[in-house]
Amino acid sequence: MATGGPTRTALHPLVRGSGLRAAVRTDRRAELVLGALAVGVLALIALMLVTVLVNAWPSFSANGLSWFGSGGDPVTQLAAMQTDTPLPGHSVLYFSAWPLLWGLLLTTVLAVAIALVVSTLAAVFLTEFAPKPVRRVLEPVVRLLAGVPSVIYGLVGILAIAPWVNEHLISNARRQSVAYVVQLSGADLTTATLILTLMILPIMIALTANALSSVPISWREGSAALGVNRWRTIRRVSLRGARPAIAAAVVLATARALGEAIMLAMVSGGRPFDANPLDGLTFFFEPVETPATAILKEFGGETGTPVAHTAYALAAVLLFSAALLSFAGWAVRQSMRRSTVV
């Protein structure tokens, strides 16, 4: 590809003044306009970081590190801010986000862990074992799952899955054993994690399957020539070669799970509860809430109020995690660049 295109010095005397110079000028202008558009993306990100952080600052500075700690129920605290009646012994901006962060951690880690196993199996199936007719069904299915809006997942969750969990999985004894702290309703950690898994699966399957199918045939033929059987080849050659793509898939899936607000708002039980693993099996039926859900439910769209500052602080945490994730994904991919295909 010619790199510079025709430049001013390259003009032949004969073509001078024949409109070519104007054409070159248009060309320059096109590059400038398109470049400006691209730089606009960077400006937008910078602006987003600055505005969110500036608006989040009052909440962070009023609470210090205890913002991340566990000091009561975030929803009560937000309600106190809304009515402008500070909780006894605290400032109006008092907020402790741990129950929300814990809910986020639980749902995200569980969903991504399950989805990692399932998506790897599904991708191997799709690229290695599925007969053509099955593949022709499975690919559109994966794409459909990726396209379904999260509100539909939420609706199915709250109207079909949560009642089912409530009826069949939660025994009355269990319900009564925790009735004095929390009401188990089926909208809980299990339901939320299941649906979240289903939502992040398609992107993971797509990335992994694409990577698996671009592992060079010669690598696998080499493995087969050494007398290694099919599964071992898949595990030791194909999946290993696809590791960067799997890492990328995990990063993207986590990012999606982090920001999921509407589905979780519908099925996760809607109150920030410190679901406690020490509760045994009951743990899986306790409600959870994540930062994105809290913003969606408690924030009415005003600016400059304590509630708004808190909402922006939660948004800043999400934004920061998303940026950190995309950096981590990049770093992992860099470190695996050798010995892999993608």
Partner 1 sequence: MGGQAVDEALHGRVMASAQTLDRPARNTIARPPRESHASWPLADRLCHALCWATGIGLCLVTAWIVLYMLVKGISALNLKLFVESPAPSLRERESGGFLDPLIGTFIITAIGMAFAAPAGVGIATWLTEYARPRWLARAVESGIETLAGVPSIVLALFGLLVFARGFFSFLSGSTNGGAVSGKSFLAAGLLMSVLALPLIVGTTREALTQLPSRMREASFALGKTRATTIRRVLLPSIRPGIASGVVLGMGRIIGDTAIIVVVLGASPKLQGAGGAPLLSTLRGSGSTLTSYVYGFSPAGEGNSPQKAYAAAFVLLMIVLALNGVVTRLSRGRSLDTIEQGAKP
Candidates 10, 109, 113, 159; binder of partner 1 (CB under 8 A) is 159
Contact status: 147 vs partner 1 (CB under 8 A): yes
- Kindly indicate which of the ranges 51-59, 96-104, 107-115, 175-183 contains the residues binding partner 1, using the contact rule CB under 8 A: 51-59
Q: Which is nearer to partner 1, 229 or 339 (CB)?
A: 229
CB of 78 to partner 1, least distance (A): 15
Q: Which residues touch 27 (CB under 8 Å, ≥6 apart)? A: 5
| Non-local CB neighbours of 66 within 8 Å, separated by 6+ positions | 96
Q: Of 79-87, 97-105, 106-114, 153-161, which part binds partner 1 (CB under 8 A)?
A: 153-161
Binding flag, residue 129, partner 1 (CB under 8 A): yes
We find the least distance from the C-beta atom of residue 187 to partner 1, in angstroms, to be: 9
Question: Which parts of 274-293 interact with partner 1 (CB under 8 A)?
Answer: 292
Nearest Cα neighbor of 288 from 75, 49, 14, 57 is: 75
Kindly tell me which residue out of 11, 145, 178, 328 binds partner 1, with binding defined by CB under 8 A: 145
- Contact between 333 and partner 1 per CB under 8 A: yes
Q: Rule CB under 8 A: is residue 213 a binding residue for partner 1?
A: yes
User: Virtual CA dihedral for 234, 239, 240, 246, nearest 10 degrees?
Assistant: 180
Per-residue binding string, partner 1, 254-273, x by CB under 8 A, is -x--xxxxx--xx---x---
Does 24 interact with partner 1 (rule: CB under 8 A)?
yes
Any idea of the CA torsion for 70, 71, 72, 76, to the nearest 10 degrees? Answer: -110
Query: Which of 103, 186, 241, 329 forms a contact with partner 1 (CB under 8 A)?
Result: 329
Q: What's the min distance (Å) between Cβ of 256 and partner 1? A: 8
Q: Is 133 exposed, middle or buried (0-12, 13-18, 19+ CB in 10 A)?
A: exposed
Q: What part of residues 75-94 is at the interface with partner 1 (CB under 8 A)? A: none
Question: For residues 193, 198, 201 and 202, what is the CA-based torsion angle, rounded to 10 degrees?
Answer: -150
145: number of Cβ within 10 Å? 16
Nearer to partner 1 (CB atom), residue 11 or residue 87: 11
What is the closest distance, in whole angstroms, from the C-beta atom of residue 30 to partner 1 in the complex? 4
How big is the site for partner 1, counted in residues (CB under 8 A)? 112
Q: Which amino acid is at 265?
A: A
Residue 149 touching partner 1 (CB under 8 A): yes
CA separation for the pair 210, 242 (Å, rounded): 9
Vertex 114: Cα angle to 184 and 109 (nearest 5): 70
196 sits near partner 1 (criterion: CB under 8 A):
no
**How far apart are CB 170 and partner 1 at their closest, in Å?**
18
Looking at beta carbons only, is 172 or 229 nearer to partner 1? 229
Site for partner 1 in 52-71 (CB under 8 A): 52, 55
Mark 16-49 as b/e (b = at least 16 C-beta within 10 Å).
eeeebeeebeeeeeeeeeeeeeeeeeeeeeeeee
Single out the residue of 59, 96, 107, 127 in contact with partner 1 (rule: CB under 8 A).
127
**CA–CA separation, 58 vs 188, rounded Å?**
32
